[in-house]
């Protein structure tokens, strides 16, 4: 009997490793087999969650997964390549998207032109027969370049070209130019699809500098010489950069300009020596004449005041009184007295 009990206990222990496929829930779970999604509306057991958190969550996950697997096994099956698969139904749960679904791809410039003209794309053959090589060569792909290299093992130099011209390198450069042109056209199609303003030179990208930035760079470069840009030639309509923070970028703004000028060094040194050695002041003729006239006028006024037979040295007043010596007539250029009336003269015709 002991042996029978041991066998039964061992068998029961092995059965305990496998959980039952039947799961009982207080509230029925919502299943979306098309999205392989299950939603459990039942509340958590707070006591079990606090006591054995990991074990409780593992058991809950196993039960919900078992319900989803049971629903998958109820679906119709079919055999595909020696395998039995289940065909999932359409999903019923609407999943939110971060962005709107992508629309149809915009047509390129060539595709739009081909559609308007009714041009259809013809499928190329993978291989074509080359009569020169007398064999079938690939139309495109990496082996196409090898076939062209074997075919064009010698190239003729045109008569109007330099005999030392490398025609192989010229052919490579021409192919690289075509690749670059196609890349520029591809970028233009992308910019046109995104409706971005594009300059006539093409899409320059975010790293391209603006006109003001280029003008600032030119101004800084010209001021970076030893003469702080004094001898740098300017273009006919060239402008200097202006704005906030430009003076701090110019290195010439932090140091004095060079003492070198455009005049020859010999003439500059001679002028410096003359200014030091010539101690005599320069004579200003016009200033000397005006000072002499002023002295003569003051002398005449002093003699007139000191004439004998006059009281107080004052001049007699009356009709015949002369004007003060030294005053000149205004010659119709003086200002009119504000309160004085003028006589109406005869109009000239």
What integer is the mean pLDDT of 227-239?
Answer: 77
Q: How confident is the model at residue 293 (pLDDT cuts 50, 70, 90)?
A: very high
Q: What is the mean pLDDT of residues 221-229?
A: 76
- Confidence check: pLDDT of 86 > 60: yes
- Note the pLDDT of residue 32: 92
Q: For residues 10 and 328, what is the distance between their CA atoms, to the nearest angstrom?
A: 146
Residue 76 neighbours by CB under 8 Å, 6+ apart: 86, 87
Residue 241: what are its φ and ψ, rounded to 5°?
-70, 140
Q: Is the pLDDT of residue 312 over 90?
A: no
CA distance 324 to 203: 85
Q: Angle formed by the axes of helices 109-117 and 167-194, to 10°?
A: 80
177: confidence class by pLDDT, cuts 50, 70, 90: very high
pLDDT of 151 > 90? The answer is no
Cα(67)–Cα(60) distance, rounded to whole angstroms?
A: 11
Q: How far is CA 241 from the centre of its chain?
A: 18
- The Cα 49–Cα 61 span in angstroms is 13
In eight-state DSSP terms, residue 90 is -
Mean pLDDT of all residues in 125-152: 85
The arithmetic mean of pLDDT across residues 16-42, rounded, is: 86
Task: Tell me what pLDDT residue 343 has.
Answer: 56
Of 69 and 4, the structure prediction assigns the larger pLDDT to 69
Mean pLDDT over 254-268 rounds to 63
pLDDT > 70 in the chain, percent: 77
pLDDT of residue 254: 52
- The per-residue pLDDT of the chain, averaged, comes to 79
Task: Give pLDDT, residue 330.
Answer: 57
Hey, which residues does 108 pair with through a beta bridge?
Answer: none
Residues 6+ apart with CB under 8 A from 252: 223, 224, 228, 229
Mean pLDDT of 299-312: 76
Q: Which pLDDT belongs to residue 244?
A: 63
- 78 touches 85 (CB < 8 A): yes
How far is the C-alpha of 296 from the C-alpha of 317, rounded, in Å? 25
Residue 57's pLDDT is: 92
pLDDT band of residue 294 (cuts 50, 70, 90) is very high
Determine the average pLDDT of the residues in 263-280: 78
The model's pLDDT over 278-288, given as tens digits with 9 standing for 90+, comes to 766 667 788 88
User: pLDDT band for position 296 (50/70/90)?
Assistant: very high
């Amino acid at each position: 009997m002991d042996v029978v009990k041991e066998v039964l206990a061992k068998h029961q222990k092995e059965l305990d490793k496998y959980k039952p496929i039947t799961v009982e829930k207080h509230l029925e779970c919502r299943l979306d087999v098309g999205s392989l999604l299950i939603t459990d509306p039942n509340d958590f057991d707070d006591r079990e969650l606090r006591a054995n958190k990991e074990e409780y969550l593992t058991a809950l996950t196993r039960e919900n997964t078992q319900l989803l697997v049971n629903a998958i096994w109820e679906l119709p099956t079919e055999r595909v390549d020696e395998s039995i698969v289940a065909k999932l139904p359409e999903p019923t749960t609407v999943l939110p998207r971060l962005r709107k679904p992508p629309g149809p791809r915009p047509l390129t410039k060539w595709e739009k032109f081909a559609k308007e003209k009714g041009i259809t794309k013809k499928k190329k053959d993978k291989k074509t027969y080359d009569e020169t090589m007398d064999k079938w060569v690939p139309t495109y792909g990496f082996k196409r370049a090898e076939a062209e290299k074997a075919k064009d093992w010698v190239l003729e130099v045109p008569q109007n070209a330099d005999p030392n011209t490398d025609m192989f390198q010229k052919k490579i450069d021409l192919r690289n130019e075509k690749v670059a042109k196609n890349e520029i056209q591809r970028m233009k199609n992308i910019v046109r699809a995104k409706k971005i303003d594009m300059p006539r030179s093409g899409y320059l990208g975010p790293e391209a500098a603006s006109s003001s930035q280029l003008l600032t760079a030119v101004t800084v470069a010209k001021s970076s010489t030893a003469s702080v840009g004094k001898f740098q030639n300017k273009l006919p309509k060239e402008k200097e950069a202006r704005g906030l923070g430009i003076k701090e970028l110019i290195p010439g703004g932090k140091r004095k300009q060079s003492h070198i000028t455009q005049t020859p060094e010999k003439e500059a040194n001679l002028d410096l020596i003359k200014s030091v050695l010539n101690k005599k002041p320069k004579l200003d003729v016009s200033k000397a004449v005006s000072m002499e006239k002023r002295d003569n006028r003051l002398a005449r006024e002093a003699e007139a005041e000191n004439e004998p037979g006059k009281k107080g040295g004052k001049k007699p007043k009356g009709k015949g009184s002369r004007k003060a010596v030294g005053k000149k007539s205004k010659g119709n250029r003086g200002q009119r007295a504000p309160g004085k009336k003028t006589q109406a003269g005869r109009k000239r015709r």
